[in-house]
Amino acid sequence: MQAIHKTIFLSMLLLGLGLGVGVAQNAGASSGYPTSKNDFTHSEQRGHGLYLRYCVGCHGDLGDGEGENAPYIDPKPRNFALAIFRCRSTPTGTLPTDQDLEDSVERGLVNSNMPSWRPTMPYDRKDLVAYIKTFSPRWKTEKPGTPIEIPAEPEVTPERVKAGETLFQKLECWKCHGVEGRGNGPSADTLTDDQNRPIKAFNFHDGTRFKCGSTDRDLYKIFMTGLDGSPMPSFVDNVKPDEAWDLVFYLRTLQPMKTKAKMIAKQLGLRPINPAGASAQPPANPENK
């Protein structure tokens, strides 16, 4: 007799569960929540759920950066439909790698409203990136660029810091970032991004972090690949890898933290560069005339 009761109880339980699952599956269609497209992969589907929970408020339903918070945010949230990303390890004009995007989600973007999403799990960020990539057809027709090669970091020396200072002047970084790296160069107040919105040049005295990371390698990557969509161009065509490290060391001297580079700058008695000396040279390549 007890066995029969048990069977009845179990079958009721199963029936209830089945119904529950069925209702949950149909909830999307009837409850007003957006339903997922059917051709999503498992990862994209999961990413969609996470996106609706964490990202939709700023980046919007369509991933166009027009979420309900967007009007109150500056710089504006990324428009994923354009597939143009600041933080890449790949050359300018190419798509970033998945790892680049996952890193941006994890790290957040300093001086913007994009927080760090480190509390999410790595597989969450993978799924989020998979979903974000469904917003632009570029991900179907193009492959991510080949990451630029970054040689091992050399030892910082006074010669390297000096060479970096020369580059800072020669490449005219100061036109936007200012002679002291305070983001107040002569061109700083007219800078606009690719959507013609005003944008600020980075102030090196602001803190320890850059938009795309805080390590020396991140800094190397930032100016070599450029920040696509922003006024920051790529320098990889005209700066050799060894010179790039020199520039990294010089830029470190502009920051507030006590680094080895900064100590060297103090010993050398480095002063803000002289802009007048920078543009007085004639073109080195006569073919361009």
Partner 1 sequence: MKTQNKLAGMLSALVLVALGALMLSRNVSAAGEGKIAGTVKLAGTAPHQKPIDMSKEPFCQKLHADHPVTLENVVVGSSGGLQNVVVYISEGLPVAAASQVPSEKPKWDQKGCQYIPHVMAMDVNQHFLVTNSDPTSHNIHPIPTKNPQWNKSQPSGAAPFDVSWANEEVSIQVKCNIHPWMHGWMAVVKGPTAVSDSNGAFTLDNVPPGSYTLTAWQETYGTQTAKVTVAAGKPGTADFTFKAK
Determine, following the binding rule CB under 8 A, whether residue 269 of this chain makes contact with partner 1. Answer: no
| Residue from 7, 146, 192, 208 in contact with partner 1 (CB under 8 A) | 192
Residue 190 binds partner 1, judged by CB under 8 A: yes
* Nearest in space to 246 (alpha carbons), one of 150, 152, 161: 161
Residue 22 CB, shortest distance to partner 1, in Å, is 45
Cα 205-210-213 angle, rounded to 5 deg: 150
Residue 170 binding partner 1, by CB under 8 A: yes
- The full length of the chain comes to 289
Q: Does 228 bind partner 1 (CB under 8 A)?
A: yes
Please state the closest distance from residue 112 (CB atom) to partner 1, in A.
19
3-class SS of residue 133: helix
140 binding partner 1? (CB under 8 A): no
**281 to 169, 240, 273: CA distances (angstroms):** 12, 21, 15
Contacts within 8 Å (CB) and 24+ apart, 177-186: 177/201, 177/202, 177/203, 177/204, 179/272, 179/273, 179/274, 179/275, 180/205, 180/254, 180/272, 181/205, 181/251, 181/254, 186/275
Give 142 or 159: the residue with its C-beta nearer to partner 1. 142
Q: Does 284 bind partner 1 (CB under 8 A)?
A: yes
How far apart CA 172 and CA 39 sit, in angstroms, is 49
Footprint of partner 1 on 101-120 (CB under 8 A): none
Q: Assess 264 for contact with partner 1 (CB under 8 A).
A: no
Asked whether position 220 contacts partner 1 by CB under 8 A, the answer is no
132, with CB counted inside 10 A (0-12, 13-18, 19+), is: buried
User: Is 84 a residue that touches partner 1 (CB under 8 A)?
Assistant: yes
57 versus 233: smaller Cβ distance to partner 1: 233
**Token couple for 117:** 């999403």
Site for partner 1 in 51-80 (CB under 8 A): none
- Residue number with CB closer to partner 1 (4 or 284): 284
Residue 216 or 228: the one with the smaller Cβ distance to partner 1 is 228
Task: State in angstroms the smallest separation of the CB of 170 from partner 1.
Answer: 7
Query: Which pair of structure tokens corresponds to residue 228?
Result: 């696509």
Distance CA 244, CA 239 (A): 6
The reply on whether position 93 binds partner 1 by CB under 8 A is yes
* Span from 36-44, 56-64, 88-96, 259-267 in contact with partner 1 (CB under 8 A): 88-96
Would the CA dihedral through 102, 71, 184, 91 be positive or negative?
positive
Query: Does 226 engage in binding with partner 1 (CB under 8 A)?
Result: yes
Q: Least distance in Å: CB of 222 to partner 1?
A: 13
Contact footprint for partner 1 (CB under 8 A): 84, 92-94, 138, 142, 170-172, 175-176, 186-187, 190-192, 194, 226, 228-235, 237-238, 279-285, 288-289
